[in-house]
Amino acid sequence: MKALSVRQPWAALIVAGLKVWETRARACHYLGPLAIHASARPGLAHGDLLGRWVFVDAGGRPPELFGPDGARLVCHLGAIVGSARMTGCSPVELVDPGAEAPFGDYTPGRYALRLQEAATASERCPWCWGQAQAPVCLVCAGGGPPGPVPAKGSLTVPWEWTP
């Protein structure tokens, strides 16, 4: 299955459906289901602000992202944290990030990957969802959503994930 590595807290925002645009330096021509992999190291430091959200190191537990109106996202590291469907890639100059502007780098010359139908690994097994008629799921064995699945990532966009 194709996968996309994203640093936290952006991976958590994607699988929560709060971040539709993922910005990258290069274009990507793949369209279809993706496992969303959270890199082993976060992209923000404790207390950093991301728009109206604050990133907090939870002291030995996965970091957390706290947002407006009491929203709280757990930011698992080094794991497949969910899945989404990549439906497009456009130069950032052609997209309107709206409220998502603090969640990406919209410098001219970059590209925005459109990610839709996002879900966490606790809501939907990424491997089952991404495989067409897989006889036996290598992640959940048909037992339902597994939650975050430990995995090593890659800088390639997208890369091949096999559990």
Q: Per-residue pLDDT for 58 more than 80?
A: no
Per-residue pLDDT band for 145 (boundaries 50, 70, 90) equals: confident
What local confidence, expressed as pLDDT, does residue 134 receive? Answer: 60
Fold of the CATH domain 2-160: 2.30.130
At 90, the amino acid letter reads: S
Tell me the CB-side half-sphere exposure of residue 108, using CA atoms within 13 A.
1
Higher local confidence (pLDDT), 107 or 51: 107
Mean pLDDT, the chain, whole residue set: 90
Name the residue with higher pLDDT: 44 or 25.
Answer: 25
What are the strands, taking DSSP E only, across 39-151?
49-50, 53-56, 64-66, 72-74, 79-91, 111-120, 149-150
Q: How many CB atoms lie within 10 A of CB 7?
A: 16
When pLDDT is averaged across residues 46-60 and rounded to a whole number, the result is 84
Q: What is the pLDDT of residue 32?
A: 95
pLDDT attached to residue 133: 61
Separation between Cα atoms, residue 90 and residue 22, nearest integer Å: 11
Assign 135 a pLDDT band (cuts: 50, 70, 90): low
